[in-house]
């Protein structure tokens, strides 16, 4: 339980902060995402404190979990935001986020999204291709505005993570090849509605070693000196997100160690440092509560069929990701090995394989470390309404998203005349 400081057993019952999870299951039903305000706040403050000696801006990567209560909590703490769509921009603004602290990432920003972001006066566009740079220049010109830009460079570094979430290798679709960046910074002066203010990179997600971050920041460092020697001043360096969390047995660097490793070389430049953490801020702050519907024994396996499924938490099905699964009421006697599976009609619909549990129908289980890329990647597959989300704050529980209904799901559909 060491990875979940605000999730602990008291007399064999699992609590979030001061609230027993069985109370939440009873009040709000299952499946249901539960977040701890304290864990989110502590994680943000750990980043902020670690950067205390540097001019810095922490831009939470909204895609990890876009609930507006979470965005609002972070905005109140002083956090900025890394967005990848016009929709995320609107969420951040609605949640009270400061547009002057927003960076806009992503390989495929469309013209409408660029317009929205220019109107909102965001801090910076992280541009990922020359074609995008030209399009942004044209739109900014039409609007009579100047777009602040960082080029996102691809430093060709192996992040040593799952191939689906590795982004900094030259064969990946992300960023501008590092060897082209210098030319683009220096030859794009005729783009009269672009102002280069920064340099950006993001090499992947769920990194459990510091080496790749250091390698990438070294490459960025030497690129900055080459660009500045041509008379272009870089105001900030955006080093992306990617710090991994402990799901199972991973040994992950602490936030402090991560920030120190980023700053070792970069801080000599005396520039503002931006980072875009998602998972490290929210991943271990959330869990998915689910109820065991049925136990089923076959000659080969024991199945615990639960009411949450791959549409609620896609990570196991998509990346074969491991999430710890804990009983809300602990019973260590007569445990058996179970496949924890959902009701969806796919063999890939599982939340955990080979878990030791004493389980009965009606038991409540907690799928841990699901705060990041859980709700935000959920879908309505099998016409399953998205689940409720609640935030615990001490002994208070707040509903921060109502459970969807079937009416919500079909509201925009139309039958032929
Ligand atoms: N910045 C950029 C440009 C990104 O693309 C991402 C994540 C982040 C920051 C935040 O990365 P983090 O600090 O959360 O590692 N669905 C996958 C993760 C995909 C990450 C995509 N980009 C998962 O469930 O593991």
Residue 1: pLDDT over 60: no
Atom number of ligand 1 nearest to Cα 126: 3
Q: Looking at 124, 201, 263, 345, which residue is catalytic?
A: 345
Could you give the C-alpha distances from 191 to 31, 138, 146, 147, 199, in angstroms and in order? 51, 9, 10, 10, 17
**Which among 278, 351, 374, 378 is the best mutation to test ligand 1's pocket, defined by most ligand atoms within 8 Å of the CB?**
278
Q: Look at the block and give the residue holding tokens 């997600």.
A: 205
Could you tell me the distance, in angstroms and rounded to a whole number, from the CA of residue 362 to the centre of ligand 1? 35
Could you tell me the distance, in angstroms and rounded to a whole number, from the CA of residue 247 to the centre of ligand 1? 16
Nearest residue (CA) to ligand 1, atom 7: 205
The dihedral region occupied by 313, where left means phi > 0, alpha psi between -120 and 50, and beta the remainder, is: beta
pTM of the predicted model as reported, rounded to 2 decimal places: 0.97
3-state secondary structure of 97: coil
Comparing C-alpha atoms, which of 131, 124, 145, 238 is closest to residue 184? 131
**Which among 43, 46, 61 is the best mutation to test ligand 1's pocket, defined by most ligand atoms within 8 Å of the CB?**
61
Q: Look at the block and give the residue holding tokens 């208070």.
A: 396
Could you tell me the distance, in angstroms and rounded to a whole number, from the CA of residue 161 to the centre of ligand 1? 12
Active site residue 345: yes
Residue 2: pLDDT over 50: no
Could you tell me the distance, in angstroms and rounded to a whole number, from the CA of residue 60 to the centre of ligand 1? 10
Q: Model confidence over 85-125: pLDDT tens digits?
A: 999 999 999 999 999 999 999 999 999 999 999 999 999 99
> DSSP class of residue 148?
E
Q: How far apart are CA 382 and CA 271, in angstroms?
A: 50
Residue 264 pLDDT: 86
For 79-84, what is the mean pLDDT?
Answer: 98
Q: How far apart are CA 36 and CA 14, in angstroms?
A: 13
Q: Model confidence over 265-303: pLDDT tens digits?
A: 888 888 999 999 999 999 999 999 999 999 999 999 999
The DSSP annotation for 180-242 comes to: HHHHHHHHGGG-TTEEEEEEE---BSSB--SHHHHHHHHHHHHHHHHHHTTTPPP-EEE----
Comparing C-alpha atoms, which of 5, 7, 11 is closest to residue 329? 11
Atom number of ligand 1 nearest to Cα 276: 9
3-state secondary structure of 21: helix
Q: How far apart are CA 306 and CA 363, in angstroms?
A: 9
Q: How far apart are CA 267 and CA 85, in angstroms?
A: 31
Q: How far apart are CA 378 and CA 386, in angstroms?
A: 7
Q: How far apart are CA 206 and CA 389, in angstroms?
A: 24
Q: Cβ–Cβ contacts within 10 Å for residue 332, how many?
A: 10
Question: Tokens for 267?
Answer: 């801080």
Helix extents (H) in 60-190:
68-77, 86-94, 111-120, 130-143, 178-187
Q: How far apart are CA 73 and CA 24, in angstroms?
A: 21
Domains, the chain, ordered by start: 7-36+283-410 (2.40.37.10), 105-277 (3.20.20.10)
Comparing C-alpha atoms, which of 22, 25, 60 is closest to residue 372? 60
Could you tell me the distance, in angstroms and rounded to a whole number, from the CA of residue 82 to the centre of ligand 1? 10
Q: Across all residues in the chain, what is the average pLDDT?
A: 95
Q: Model confidence over 199-227: pLDDT tens digits?
A: 999 999 999 999 999 999 999 999 999 99
**Which among 132, 200, 203, 241 is the best mutation to test ligand 1's pocket, defined by most ligand atoms within 8 Å of the CB?**
241
- Asked if 213 contacts 239 with a C-beta cutoff of 8 angstroms, the reply is yes
Nearest residue (CA) to ligand 1, atom 6: 241
Could you tell me the distance, in angstroms and rounded to a whole number, from the CA of residue 206 to the centre of ligand 1? 8
Containing H/E element for 266? helix 255-266
- Asked if 330 contacts 343 with a C-beta cutoff of 8 angstroms, the reply is no
Lining residues, ligand 1, CB within 6 Å: 61, 64, 82, 105, 165, 202, 205-206, 240-243, 276-280, 315, 372-373, 377
Q: How far apart are CA 230 and CA 221, in angstroms?
A: 15
- Asked if 130 contacts 184 with a C-beta cutoff of 8 angstroms, the reply is yes
Atom number of ligand 1 nearest to Cα 106: 3
Q: Cβ–Cβ contacts within 10 Å for residue 189, how many?
A: 11
Q: Model confidence over 165-207: pLDDT tens digits?
A: 778 788 888 889 998 999 999 888 789 999 999 999 999 999 9
Residue 113 pLDDT: 98
Q: Model confidence over 316-369: pLDDT tens digits?
A: 999 999 999 999 999 999 999 999 999 999 999 999 999 999 999 999 999 999
């Amino acid at each position: 339980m060491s990875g979940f400081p605000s999730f602990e057993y008291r007399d064999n019952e699992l609590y979030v902060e001061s609230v027993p999870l069985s109370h939440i299951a009873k009040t709000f039903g299952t499946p249901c995402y539960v977040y701890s305000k304290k864990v989110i706040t502590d994680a943000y403050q750990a980043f902020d404190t670690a950067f205390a000696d540097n001019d810095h801006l922490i831009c939470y990567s909204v895609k990890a979990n876009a609930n507006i209560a979470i965005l609002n909590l972070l905005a109140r703490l002083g956090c900025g935001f890394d967005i990848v769509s016009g929709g995320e921009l609107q969420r951040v603004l609605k949640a009270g986020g400061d547009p002057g602290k927003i960076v806009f990432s992503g390989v495929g920003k469309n013209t409408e999204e660029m317009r929205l972001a220019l109107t909102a006066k965001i801090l910076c566009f992280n541009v990922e291709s020359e074609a995008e740079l030209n399009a942004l220049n044209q739109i900014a010109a039409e609007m009579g505005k100047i777009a602040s830009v960082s080029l996102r460079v691809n430093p060709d570094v192996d992040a040593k993570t799952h191939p689906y979430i590795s982004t900094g290798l030259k064969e990946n679709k992300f960023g501008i090849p590092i060897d082209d960046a210098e030319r683009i910074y220096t030859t794009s002066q005729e783009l009269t509605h672009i102002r280069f203010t920064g340099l950006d990179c993001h090499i992947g997600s769920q990194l459990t070693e510091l080496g790749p971050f250091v390698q990438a920041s070294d490459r960025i460092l030497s690129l900055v000196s080459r660009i500045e020697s041509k008379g272009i001043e870089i105001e900030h360096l955006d080093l992306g997100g990617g710090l991994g969390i402990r799901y199972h047995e991973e040994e992950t660097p602490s936030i402090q160690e991560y920030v120190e490793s980023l700053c070792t070389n970069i801080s000599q430049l005396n520039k503002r440092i931006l980072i875009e953490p998602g998972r490290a801020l929210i991943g271990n702050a959330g869990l998915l509560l689910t109820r065991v519907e049925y136990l089923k024994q076959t000659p080969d396996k024991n199945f615990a069929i639960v009411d949450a499924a791959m549409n609620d938490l896609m990570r196991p099905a998509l990346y074969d990701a491991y999430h710890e699964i804990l009983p809300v009421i602990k019973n260590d006697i007569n445990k058996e090995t179970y496949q924890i599976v959902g009701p969806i009609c796919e063999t890939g619909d599982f939340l955990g394989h080979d878990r030791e549990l004493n389980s009965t129908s009606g038991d409540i289980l907690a799928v841990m470390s699901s705060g990041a890329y859980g709700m935000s990647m959920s879908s309505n597959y099998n016409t399953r309404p998205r689940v409720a989300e609640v935030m615990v704050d001490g002994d208070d529980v707040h509903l921060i998203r109502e459970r969807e209904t079937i009416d919500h799901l079909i509201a925009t559909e139309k039958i032929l005349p």
